[in-house]
């Protein structure tokens, strides 16, 4: 078994994977498809009873994920939004959430269109300034929801300072950080004070754009008991096959993230110098207003790069050849999209305008192709969009 003092890839490859846990000692964890498990006597089982409440393949992945996060308890769900749904079900009717205003469009839609029906209100604030978070807190506030870096504008929130300030006002407020854009390889929100880390595993953690899944990880035993209950009671669980796929992908997470960082930063630097580019957002560019914070709270950045284009964005996106025009991110293949009418179309127009999610804002998920080919592709598409 890997321990948390071991390196990242050692944990990714060994945590939860011990062959001795299986009678046949398979080195690669088996995909256990059985939906039910034999009991020795009524209600007496050997760790697993019914596939929704627990599954051996799922357990392997949950153990590995929590080891990577320096966390105690990991739970996986059938999508990232499924994980978010379960976490917000920790709250009661009339409770209140303060959320960063620049978050994934689907999370925004879930907050505004679904949670509101359960009488849970969400106040959206510019969380880059901690004062705004604190001003949003009222006596009913039970949760603060943060993305850092944010989707799609790649703004940062000082997770440690924000959490400390929030807990000073009310220590029972649950601080949730969506760490999808960086993964546990580059940022560990639990170690910065967050109570729960949430993931769309669909993105970098799986990294091959072939699985939709989510996760929640916590060190808090009480929250873990509640999340484990909800995982079973709400039934938003993934298939054993999908768990095996993500578990396999984690073995190369370190390698993939290093290459995403390298390619993404090279592209950000290329775009920053280009005459047809108005502004580039990448936390590891010294021009990023929170560059110092990026260095302080993370050890790198993924392949996410956003920029404002001076040319025709439709023409630009249609001219790309290697970058595929598609939603999502975090796979080995490069993607490009227009958040205003794609991933963030469900954010109310007024909020989009205020945030700067305009029709000139392009979001890239830089993949693992050869750097020069990616730059050449962007270069030809920029020429074509003048």
Is 99 an interacting residue with respect to ligand P1T (CB under 6 A)? no
Segment near ligand P1T (CB under 6 A), from 15-23, 228-236, 259-267, 326-334? 326-334
Q: Cα(154)–Cα(103) distance, rounded to whole angstroms?
A: 10
Among 74-82, 165-173, 275-283, 287-295, which window interacts with ligand P1T (CB under 6 A)? 74-82
Other beta carbons less than 10 A from residue 185's beta carbon: 25
> By C-beta, is 54 or 106 nearer to ligand P1T?
106
Residue 226 Cα distances to 84, 90, 145, 215, 352, angstroms: 14, 7, 18, 15, 35
Site for ligand P1T contains 151 (CB under 6 A): yes
Single out the residue of 172, 203, 201, 204 nearest to residue 185, CA to CA. 204
Q: Is 379 labeled as catalytic in the residue annotation? A: no
Please give the residue whose beta carbon sits closest to ligand P1T in the complex: 80
DSSP 173: P
Q: Contact at 8 Å (CB) between 171 and 152?
A: no
Which residues on adjacent β-strands are paired with residue 50?
36
Among the listed residues 106, 238, 331, 367, the single contact to ligand P1T using CB under 6 A: 106
Question: Pattern 159-198, binding to ligand P1T, x per CB under 6 A?
Answer: -------------------x-x------------------
What one-character DSSP code corresponds to residue 164?
Answer: H
Q: Please report where in the chains the tokens 């469900």 appear, as a residue.
A: 346
* Spatial separation of the C-alpha atoms in residues 230 and 85, rounded to whole Å: 10
In whole angstroms, give the CA distance from residue 33 to residue 240.
Answer: 6
Q: How far is the CB of 333 from ligand P1T (least distance, A)?
A: 14
Smaller CB separation from ligand P1T, 2 or 125: 125
Ranges within 284-313 binding ligand P1T (CB under 6 A): none
Q: Which stretch binds ligand P1T (CB under 6 A): 38-46, 49-57, 112-120, 327-335?
A: 327-335
Q: Residue 166's CB: how many other CB atoms inside 10 A? A: 22
Applying CB under 6 A, does 211 fall inside the site for ligand P1T?
Answer: no
List interacting residues with ligand P1T (CB under 6 A). Answer: 79-81, 104, 106-107, 147, 151, 178, 180, 200, 202, 212, 214, 327-329, 343
């Amino acid at each position: 078994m890997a321990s948390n003092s071991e390196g990242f890839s050692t944990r990714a490859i060994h945590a939860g994977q011990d062959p001795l846990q299986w009678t046949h000692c398979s080195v690669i964890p088996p995909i256990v498809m059985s939906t039910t498990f034999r009991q020795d006597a009524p209600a007496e089982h050997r760790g697993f009873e019914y596939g929704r409440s627990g599954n051996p393949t799922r357990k392997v992945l949950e153990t590995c994920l929590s080891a990577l996060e320096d966390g105690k308890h990991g739970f996986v769900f059938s999508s990232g939004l499924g994980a978010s749904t379960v976490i917000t079900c920790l709250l009661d009717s009339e409770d209140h959430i303060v959320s960063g205003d620049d978050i994934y469009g689907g999370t925004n839609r879930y907050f505004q269109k679904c949670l509101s029906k359960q009488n849970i209100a969400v106040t959206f604030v510019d969380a880059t300034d901690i004062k705004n978070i604190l001003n949003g807190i009222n006596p009913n506030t039970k949760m603060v929801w943060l993305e850092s870096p944010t989707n799609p504008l790649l703004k940062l929130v000082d997770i440690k300072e924000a959490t400390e300030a929030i807990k000073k006002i009310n220590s029972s407020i649950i601080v949730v950080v969506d760490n999808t854009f960086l993964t546990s390889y580059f940022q560990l929100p639990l170690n910065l004070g967050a109570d729960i880390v949430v993931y769309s595993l669909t993105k970098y953690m799986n990294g091959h754009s072939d699985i939709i899944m989510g996760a929640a990880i916590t060190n808090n035993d009480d929250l873990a008991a509640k999340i484990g209950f909800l995982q079973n009671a709400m039934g938003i669980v993934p298939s054993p096959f999908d768990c095996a796929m993500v578990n396999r992908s984690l073995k190369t997470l370190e390698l993939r993230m290093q290459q995403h960082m390298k390619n993404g930063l090279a592209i950000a630097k290329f775009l920053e110098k280009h005459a047809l580019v108005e502004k580039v957002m990448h936390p590891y560019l010294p021009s990023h207003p929170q560059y110092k914070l990026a260095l302080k709270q993370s050890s790198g950045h993924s392949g996410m790069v956003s920029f404002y284009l001076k040319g025709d964005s439709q023409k630009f996106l249609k001219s790309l050849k290697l970058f595929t025009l598609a939603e999502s991110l975090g796979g080995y293949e490069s993607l490009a999209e227009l958040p205003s009418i794609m991933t963030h179309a469900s954010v109310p127009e007024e909020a989009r305008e205020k945030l700067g999610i305009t029709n000139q804002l392009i979001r890239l998920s830089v993949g693992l192709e050869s750097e020069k080919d990616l730059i050449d592709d962007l270069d030809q598409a920029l020429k074509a969009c003048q």
